[in-house]
Amino acid sequence: MTPSWGSELTGLVSLALVIALSPLSIIPAVLVLQTPRARASSLAFLAG
């Protein structure tokens, strides 16, 4: 049984959104780790 184009497109669009939004969570984490007090800042970042 082959899936329809609509379900294939929905799967691809959702995967594309996840890939596009992933840098939005990685960039702040990298910036927090570059601060002088990285451990305290990262714990506050994870808590908030």
pLDDT tens-digit profile of 24-47? 888 888 888 899 998 998 888 888
Backbone angles phi and psi of 35, in degrees to 5: -75, 160
The whole-angstrom distance between residue 20's C-alpha and the CA centroid of its chain comes to 8
pLDDT tops 80 at residue 1 = no
pLDDT of residue 13: 92
- Note whether residue 36 is domain-resident: yes
User: Do the domain assignments include residue 4?
Assistant: no
- pLDDT-above-70 percentage for the chain: 94
Which pTM value belongs to this model? Answer: 0.48
- Burial class of residue 24 in the structure, from the number of CB atoms within 10 Å of its CB (0-12 exposed, 13-18 middle, 19+ buried): exposed
Give a yes or no: residue 14 inside a domain. Answer: no
Per the domain annotation, does 7 fall within a domain? Answer: no
Q: Which domain holds residue 34?
A: 23-48
pLDDT band of 22, cuts 50, 70, 90: confident
Matching residue, tokens 């780790």: 33
Residue 18, domain member (yes or no): no
Q: How confident is the model at residue 2, as a pLDDT?
A: 63
The structural domain count of the chain equals: 1
Contacts of 35 (CB under 8 A, 6+ apart): 41
